[in-house]
Amino acid sequence: MIPDLLDSIVRPGAYRRFASEKGARTVRYAAFLSLIFVGAIGISVKIRLAPLFTETFDWLETAMPPLKFGAGGVTSTTTGPLRVQHPKISDVAVMIDTARKDPVTVDQMKQAKVIAYLAGNALYLDRGQGQIETIDLTKSAPEHEVTVDSTMYKEMERTFDWVFYPALMLFFFLAFAVALAFSALLYGLAGLLLASFAGGALEFAALFRIGLHAQTAGSLLYALDATLPVSIPFFQLISIALSLAFLWLGIRAAVKPSPAGPPAPPAPAA
């Protein structure tokens, strides 16, 4: 696939071969471009999000008191209201007051500047615009008492690492592959017009394959933007412009006669 990637950028004549390649090879190339993008996303997540996730679980392990969920609700070792705030994200703060049984109001949550309020019998979540979601813990109690402490937070972190990251990579892989295919359809439709300007005609399937390979430079630009700390200005428009330019070069190459020319006509009979 690497030779195809290089040919898609530096050898416009290779588009004649791309136009007639088998469908399975086109699918593999789309998957190859998607893997490059997913690799860039993985680097970005590792640099930007992974430290935040790790710090969040460390915060939960050290700042949150042990909580016991049972049939009667939830209890903790705290003797009074305890406000716990994220060390980096100031808007993320919760109030823990398991001795409280009366309902929590919107004004009380605003005064406490918390997004969640854990009482002894209910969990209150701030949904914004004066809306509070109430989860009755007495009705959703587990069959057996469950203790949420530092040990459980460590288990949650391990599960998060094993589930979240692979699921995130799979999502971006599928999303980028679908985006490539959909864009190739659009470029294929545009190619019907461009082929007439180039003085030839190509089947839509050939134009689709050309349209997919024409997105190579734009896909690499997307991958580069994902890894950089600052977004590339107008990178989406630049990507479209690059794809259209390579689409035109590819169509011109595909409709151009072979350098060897047509076969010579047979010699007339004597």
Domains of the chain, by residue range, sit at: 2-50+160-255, 67-147
Give the pLDDT score at 257: 56
Instruction: Provide the phi-psi class of 124: left if phi over 0, else alpha when psi is between -120 and 50, else beta.
Output: beta
Fill in the amino acid letter for 104.
V
Tell if the pTM clears 0.75, that is, is over it: no
**Cα(200)–Cα(191) distance, integer angstroms:** 11
- Per-residue model confidence as pLDDT tens digits over 24-66: 899 999 999 999 999 998 888 888 888 888 888 888 888 888 8
Give the pLDDT score at 185: 92
Residues in the chain: 270
pLDDT over 90 at 145, yes or no: no
- Per-residue model confidence as pLDDT tens digits over 164-186: 888 989 999 999 999 999 999 99
